[in-house]
A and B are shown apart, each in its own frame.
Chain A
């Protein structure tokens, strides 16, 4: 499977994605706008509450091409953060009290400077989260040592596993992904990840393999823990249930499968003001592979840079300006505020 960009799909153009989100047809155009929903809930102006996380996308290259990927990542994507831009991120961190750096991609480990970057962030005393797709650990010998590297640097590992069976996992993430993910999870368990008392955190991410919402997180976590332990002897800490946002490849899937209108309608109809108060853009900044700043990883993939035209790059990092910014919103934001809400850490309401 190729990325939308490599297959010249029109949705690889973010302008077209935004047009689809706002006016694909009469029923979509008639849906309430996200800013109107915030307004009626008394949540405007929509500004950050704090800034405790820097989420850095170190590149779009990935060893997988998942059907729902909002990054449109894959082996054919060559955008990679340079060490120069990483240093700019480190400089920004050094002059702030941001406590957590959340590394994502693509497969972040495929960036040639990944290990150097993690070590430098740790030298600054900040917590590092790596969004590891699991299969990268077994994709090539040179990545087999990642569990030990993560352990050495006390990295929190967050990994996608859409289900505890191969059919649902592979249908979303590609043939053979489930088996490789299980092997990688066992390798992480072997060095202590997910083991109670080890201090090494291994969290899993569930997202639906289709046009439906995630089940309640708590019950699903219990089921995942039971099934993964019974079937494979695998343990982990927490399960985050995440809603698929209607952008990029998932948007393409929704349109091709004929589910787009009903999915958007459901997102809008289940708007939850409590979730809207806790969305991740309230406490984080997202950095693109080229150093530009966004309110979240989804805005990054829609090329919606932060609302500070003269200081929207990590080189211009100014924490006061960032705290005072107005968050850029659009119709895809309904994905984070539907039902129990959704963030990179799962439910938020």
Chain B
């Protein structure tokens, strides 16, 4: 059955350079630099990437960064806590808009 998402496509990420090599090179160079040890460790960056992957709900990124987190030395508990950070921000971002709703309700109400 054809689907939009094929796990095998993850390995072909680099193929995006086929249609636009210069921009792809700039992107992949940048990408590589971002994930190196810096003020944050590569392990910490991988956990952030895992949380963001769940926020943007990208199956390729979830696949890649689940493996990468393990290979950077994170454990399951740490990985799940990272997801809860993403979930807290997503939930919080909905709820904090509740203030807008309350403002509007109050504006409309006697």
Contact = CB atoms under 8 A, between A and B. Distances in A.
Nearest to A208: B70
Given A163-B75, A213-B71, A214-B71, 17 more contacts: A165-B75, A167-B76, A208-B71, A210-B70, A212-B71, A215-B43, A215-B70, A215-B71, A215-B72, A215-B73, A216-B42, A216-B72, A219-B41, A219-B43, A219-B73, A220-B73, A223-B73
B50 to A, nearest CB: 14
Contact of A212 (B42, B43, B70): B70
Contacts of A208: 70-71
A212 B63 CA distance: 12
Contacts of A216: 42, 72-73
Nearest to B7: A262
Interface residues of B, number: 10
A215 B41 CA distance: 13
A168 interface: yes
Interface string B54-81: 0000000000000100111101100000
Interface string A203-222: 00000101011111001100
Interface residues of A, number: 14
A210 B70 CA distance: 10
Q: With a 10 A CB-CB cut-off, give which of B42, B43, B70 has the most chain A CB atoms.
A: B70
Nearest to B74: A215
B75 A168 contact: yes
Interface string A159-191: 000010101100000000000000000000000
Contacts of B73: 215-216, 219-220, 223
A98 B71 CA distance: 36
A212 B43 CA distance: 15
Contacts of A212: 67, 70-71
21 contacts: A163-B75, A165-B75, A167-B76, A168-B75, A208-B70, A210-B70, A212-B70, A212-B71, A214-B71, A215-B43, A215-B70, A215-B71, A215-B73, A216-B42, A216-B72, A216-B73, A219-B41, A219-B72, A219-B73, A220-B73, A223-B73
A213 B71 CA distance: 6
A208 B73 CA distance: 10
A208 B72 CA distance: 11
B65 to A, nearest CB: 12
Contacts of B43: 215, 219
Contacts of A223: 73
A212 B79 CA distance: 15
Contacts of A167: 76
A219 B72 CA distance: 9
Contacts of A165: 75
B41 to A, nearest CB: 7
